[in-house]
Structure 1
């Protein structure tokens, strides 16, 4: 089988908020169509709900203790010395590699292993101009050797009104837009939240259209039949109790893989667990190579084969703007969260704290968190009622606690559980 071309498109802060993931209040026809032509992963999760370390795990196949990113690149976080990124690994296999637009793993985008870096002059890599760059690059590439193109959009990061340099959407959402919004169960249903979600829906529609332009440019090439297209995002949506948390609303992500048409695989909905750390080994496997990473190759699924099901996924957080360490182990049915530092239930990043949704919330989130949380995702999908203190769940709690300990030991995770050394209020 000839090594396929690989196009990886990623957005900021989307979670799963697309029509094809059941969000009927969102217009995303181009990504919905891509999902209908390929594999839609319904149980995909990031390794951490923070921009830089999430993308670092995506592009290395490693968890944060291994790749070194625990915070944000523009605040000093760096890869460990000697880390091999996906463009480096594919370059070793003979791929031409290019980044168009957004990345968040380094202050200098030229340091992360791409042959070419194409970015707009503005600080924000907005979807329209980035799609222009991707279309131009694709039009210039020969079809005699494989390529890897990464296309990154700033969208759908806040502020939603910002359309580009010196461009703003000045028209507030209409009543029809507000009425159409379906508010997730973990958020208050009020005008503040509805307005916020309506703004986000506009951003999604713009980014979806730009994504469609990139897909069209790929499919117009003579080697389109041997090109795999992947779409994903870094982590959950930028709302309280989502981004920067280990609840599913913070770590569950959209992941769509459209195998080369010539392979005749799909459409398929994949319900088995998959992590962002699995993407690098999957793509390297498709390219004919292998790599020693934390993730597991799922390349067989794109070839129409079965692969071993994951029994669990791991995700973690250390700091965004404030040190807030926590770890989670999730199975298909249950979620165990260990909060490593005392504090309020939610520590909100600045963009969330200043959001319309936050303005319409109560202050309950400032109450002290529990050391451990345990959820039955079948009966409590929004993770609103922890059963960690329920005697009936004691055995399950002990089992998941032990499994998490084993994973963290394997990774050499040096995070200290400060709970036992900090005096707690009565």
Structure 2
């Protein structure tokens, strides 16, 4: 497509090359909504707080899955993990299905220049993701920000007026939190989220996390300053999102609110003249790609399973005396987990008021992934994490936001439970969600964990900073070199 072409969205919105907006897309690891602009106490994140104040700040956004690759895959494809193929971690050998198109591929085909710097966790072959340019050699925030700034300045110096998608992936806020890299916060002056026990190991663990947040926040501030310096804030959507919940017990790797709830901050281009506001409606990770495509005037493929919130984003603040300025786009989100460090099949649906979860295998109440199992916070658990997990769970979020009291057997909620169970079944059927049986699922998990353990035992893995693929800030070292069949995994 040449630079003078016109693209048309599924709703008929047209955009010429002179009008087409850019996107700077910043994503962080394992943070959930743990920022002061979302109410977290003691977090020092002034640049993201300032960004949120002038942006559309989503307060009910959820990942499709509570772990890295499946959640990120949905952000970049608009399809659920069981539909796009990323039902487990990329470094465990899971990949996109051959028919999947990614956001950079879709925008690239419509005339946008696309670049990725830093973190990606969707494929062992970054070239598969469809970016024109990429550098995944280092995903620490200082390097990623410097490369992103250089790219933006070089583009400006060359007189390149084509629209662009710049993706900056930060490793920070993923465990571990080395004190020499991220000076920890004062553990006595931070707030402990209500889903965690207020204990010394938890506070010290959170202090390390807060140190990494402050470091990464400063890098975001430098990137935003460069965008403004180059005048790109007039024509650029800035999108900040996290992949899933905190890497703490009862968050990451669960389908509770703290496992799937994410921060999502979307700043419109200045020329759109849209004031910052809170967006309280339900939003799913699969909605990001169709929303961005429509905002940019690019056709949304039929294969995308998410829905666009573009019209709602552009509607602005509600008029005086009105509670909203747009129809509700969706009133439920669906979430899933199939594999993490084991086979753990779970599906859920949640609305603003209720959450309903189906567990398809007998497992402990909390199946902790390796990074959480090794954490100080895991030591503060009271033992209830080892109790049997119920087959079904139902929570009234109006009185129980941390999903502690399972009301599945309460006859008072029979109608609500039946409604959500029916929605979940309908979604699974309409999206072709098929789970392996227990024997097959466990065998698949044993195979990828055996490969993983073999890598950890190798001479390569014994070198410094190469202990766990999912914890490595160096991109080329995050993936396994082979799957079990001698192919790249």
Q: TM-score range by the shorter chain?
A: over 0.9
Deviations 1:206-227 (A, max 9, x none): 0100111111111222343011
What is the TM-score when the length of structure 2 is the normalising length? 0.81
The number of aligned residues is 408
Q: State the partner residue of 2:151.
A: 137
Q: State the partner residue of 1:218.
A: 227
Shift of the alpha carbon at 1:112?
A: 0.6
Shift of the alpha carbon at 1:394?
A: 1.9
Matches within 5 A, 1:235-384: 235-291=244-300, 292=302, 293-304=304-315, 306-384=326-404
Indicate whether 1:109 and 2:123 are aligned.
no
Q: Does the Cα contact within 8 Å between 2:51 and 2:267 map onto a contact in 1?
A: yes
**Rounded Cα–Cα distance in structure 1 between residues aligned with 2:241 and 2:129:** 19
Matches within 5 A, 1:123-272: 125-141=139-155, 142-161=159-178, 168-169=180-181, 173=184, 177-272=186-281
**Rounded Cα–Cα distance in structure 1 between residues aligned with 2:289 and 2:327:** 16
Q: Does the Cα contact within 8 Å between 1:341 and 1:417 map onto a contact in 2?
A: no
**Rounded Cα–Cα distance in structure 2 between residues aligned with 1:20 and 1:130:** 24
Q: Which has the higher mean CA deviation after the structures are superposed, 389-398 or 267-276?
A: 389-398
Gap runs ≥5 in structure 2:
1-14, 317-325, 440-489
Q: State the partner residue of 1:51.
A: 68
Gap runs ≥5 in structure 1:
163-167, 420-426
**Rounded Cα–Cα distance in structure 2 between residues aligned with 1:110 and 1:212:** 29
Shift of the alpha carbon at 1:143?
A: 4.5
Q: Which has the higher mean CA deviation after the structures are superposed, 256-265 or 384-393?
A: 384-393
Q: Which has the higher mean CA deviation after the structures are superposed, 390-399 or 11-20?
A: 390-399
Secondary structure of the residue that 1:59 maps to in structure 2? helix
Q: Tell me: CA distance 1:255–1:170, structure 2 relative to 1, closer, same or farther (3 Å).
A: closer
**Rounded Cα–Cα distance in structure 2 between residues aligned with 1:308 and 1:395:** 23
Secondary structure of the residue that 2:308 maps to in structure 1? coil
Deviations 1:103-157 (A, max 9, x none): 000112121100000233x5xx111111111111111114511010000000110
Q: State the partner residue of 2:117.
A: 100
- Please list every run of at least 4 consecutive aligned residues from structure 1 whose deviation after the TM superposition is greater than 3 angstroms: 168-171, 416-419
> Cα RMSD between the aligned structures?
1.6
